Amino acid sequence: MRLLIDRQQVTPSVVTSGTQTIVARFRVSACSGRPVQGALVYVTAVPFVQFSVPPEATTGADGWAELRMNRLRGYPASPKQQLLVMFARARKSSESLLGGISTRLLGRREGRLAFISAAISSARRACSRGE
């Protein structure tokens, strides 16, 4: 079995200088599309030291995990900052952080927090090919 982060929801969708908390929800599924219960999900904002790094969250029966990141003093890094990137990882709890059936996503959009849908589509294609 391989894990996929196949859906994400981020609130607020636009992060401004007044944003205090970011709530990120991720749905983890198997290649078959079935939701995975009990996967561990990690997320962090990049550059670091702008938002807190929450502890890993466990997916529920519906495959969703929710993580909250609180603003730190380092955000924004400059008055002109327009990008905030998020790195997300889903893994099986009993396996190594570097291997096993884990998956990772890195995405950004100017002025918005969003994962690049192409990364999710690429992961789905890899599953269909058995990679």
Domain ranges of the chain: 3-128
Q: Which residue has the higher pLDDT, 35 or 110?
A: 35
Output the pTM of the full model. Answer: 0.80
**Which of 88, 109, 83, 9 has the alpha carbon at shortest distance from 41?**
88
What top-level class would CATH report for the domain 3-128? mainly beta
List the single range of 34-38, 73-77, 96-100 with lowest mean pLDDT.
Answer: 96-100
Would you place residue 117 in the very low, low, confident or very high pLDDT band (cuts 50, 70, 90)?
very low
Most confident of 28-32, 42-46, 57-61, 72-76: 57-61
**Average pLDDT, integer, range 28-38:** 91
Burial of residue 117, with CB atoms counted within 10 A of its CB: 0-12 exposed, 13-18 middle, 19 or more buried: exposed
Contact 44, 50 (CB under 8 A): no
pLDDT at 84: 83
